[in-house]
């Protein structure tokens, strides 16, 4: 049965999509059958996986409103070796249309149940902010992976997110747990980054992943080539870090869940 993780942080530009795409590619390279669910109407994870969001006839939008099943709407990333349930601007309308449905927050969860035997791991890329789309991601997941930059307001933002996760746990999904905090875009030359990183380890202990993702320009260049960074330049520091993170996540899953 697939383990389902949502990559979440209510801030934009913190590396959610970069993490989802590169972790998917890393997991595929580690032999895991992986599905990436793009839950952001911007479709950045879709494009970064080498899939043209403008050419889609079916997408996660159709799945959420019941016009398609997951298998029909999924595409294999030609560059990443994982499957993608893609998104584009159509998804922006789903927020309004979903309000018509009963149990509107579990639409994604119910849909993914159709494919859970076909994958080892399903990763969900969320939009910033706690919308109904993000809530669908939280309700579908067994755990949350939180990418964060080690900067001044990071810890404050983190407590908001942890409170949100607690509310979702209490009201909708008692499977939900924080799998871990991932330090991203890390620059060790910045003193503040080192301080925040040390604070994170102090407060959250083993919840902080060992692997640290460095700031690396190759990761930022890769999406314009329609490739995950781990495929675009496997020798780069960013790619190696995401490969190591994939291995660490597999290890952590084995300790947290019985498969
Ligand atoms: P989010 O999905 O949280 O909005 P993104 O993954 O889109 O964030 O990242 C925001 C920007 O930062 C993008 O331009 C991306 O290419 C860049 N970026 C993300 N991670 C890194 C990294 N480790 N090194 C360099 N640039 C990065
Ligand atoms: Mg994003």
Instruction: Copy the structure tokens of residue 167.
Output: 């509310």
Q: DSSP string of 13-50?
A: SSSHHHHHHHHHHHHHHTT--EEEEE--TT-HHHHHTT
pLDDT at residue 258 in the model: 73
Ligand 1 atom, smallest distance to 14 CA: 3
Expressed in angstroms, the distance from the first to the final Cα of the chain is 7
Ligand 1: centre distance to CA 67 (Å): 32
Nearest C-alpha to atom 21 of ligand 1 is from which residue? 185
185 three-class SS:
strand
Q: Is there an atom of ligand 1 within 6 Å of 148 CB?
A: no
Q: Is there an atom of ligand 1 within 6 Å of 129 CB?
A: no
pLDDT at residue 129 in the model: 82
255 three-class SS:
helix
pLDDT at residue 225 in the model: 98
Instruction: Copy the structure tokens of residue 152.
Output: 């001044």
* pTM (predicted TM-score): 0.97
Whether residue 5 contacts residue 121, with contact meaning beta carbons closer than 8 Å, is answered with yes
pLDDT in tens, the chain (259 residues): 899 999 999 889 999 999 999 999 999 999 999 999 999 999 999 999 999 999 999 999 999 999 999 999 999 999 999 999 999 999 999 988 998 899 999 999 999 999 999 999 999 999 998 899 999 999 999 999 999 999 988 888 898 899 999 999 999 999 999 999 999 999 999 999 999 999 999 999 999 999 999 999 999 999 999 999 999 999 999 999 999 999 999 999 999 987 5
Q: Is there an atom of ligand 1 within 6 Å of 44 CB?
A: yes
pLDDT at residue 79 in the model: 96
- Looking at the structure of the chain, the number of domains it has is 1
Which residues, in sequence order, are bridge partners of residue 83?
A: 35, 76
What CATH number corresponds to the domain at position 78?
Answer: 3.40.50.300
Distances (CA, A) of 173 to 132, 140, 196: 15, 8, 30
pLDDT at residue 259 in the model: 54
In degrees, to the nearest 5, what angle opens at C-alpha 218 toward C-alphas 50 and 123? 50
Q: Is there an atom of ligand 1 within 6 Å of 240 CB?
A: no
pLDDT at residue 120 in the model: 98
Domain that holds residue 167: 3-257
Ligand 2: centre distance to CA 13 (Å): 7
| Full strand arrangement of the beta sheet holding 83-85 | 75-76, 83-85, 34-38, 121-125, 3-7, 143-148, 177-186, 208-214
For 246, other C-beta atoms within 10 Å of its C-beta total 24
Ligand 1 atom, smallest distance to 220 CA: 16
User: Can you say whether residue 87 is alpha, beta or left, with left for phi > 0 and alpha for psi between -120 and 50 degrees?
Assistant: beta
How far, in Å, CA of 24 to CA of 121, rounded? 9
């Amino acid at each position: 049965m697939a383990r389902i993780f949502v990559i979440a942080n209510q801030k934009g530009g913190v590396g959610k999509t970069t993490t989802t795409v590169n972790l998917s590619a890393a997991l595929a390279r580690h032999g895991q059958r992986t599905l990436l669910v793009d839950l952001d109407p911007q479709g950045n994870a879709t494009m970064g996986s080498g899939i043209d969001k403008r050419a889609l006839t079916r997408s996660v939008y159709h799945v959420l409103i019941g016009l398609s099943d997951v298998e029909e709407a999924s595409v294999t990333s030609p560059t990443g070796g994982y499957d993608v349930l893609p998104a584009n601007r159509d998804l922006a309308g789903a927020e309004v249309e979903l309000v018509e449905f009963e149990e509107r927050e579990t639409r994604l969860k119910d849909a993914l149940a159709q494919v859970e035997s076909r994958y080892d791991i399903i990763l969900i890329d969320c939009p910033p902010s706690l919308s109904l789309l993000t809530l669908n991601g939280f309700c579908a997941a067994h755990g949350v992976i939180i990418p964060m930059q080690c900067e001044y307001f990071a810890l404050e933002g983190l407590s908001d997110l942890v409170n949100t996760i607690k509310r979702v746990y209490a009201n909708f999904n008692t499977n939900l747990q924080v799998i871990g905090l991932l330090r991203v875009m890390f620059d060790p030359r910045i003193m503040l980054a080192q301080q925040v990183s040390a604070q994170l380890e102090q407060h959250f202990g083993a919840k902080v992943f060992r692997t640290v993702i460095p700031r690396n320009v190759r990761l930022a260049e890769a999406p314009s080539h329609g490739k995950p960074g781990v495929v675009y330049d496997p020798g780069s520091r960013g790619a190696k870090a995401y490969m190591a993170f994939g291995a660490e996540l597999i290890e952590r899953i084995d300790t947290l869940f019985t498969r």
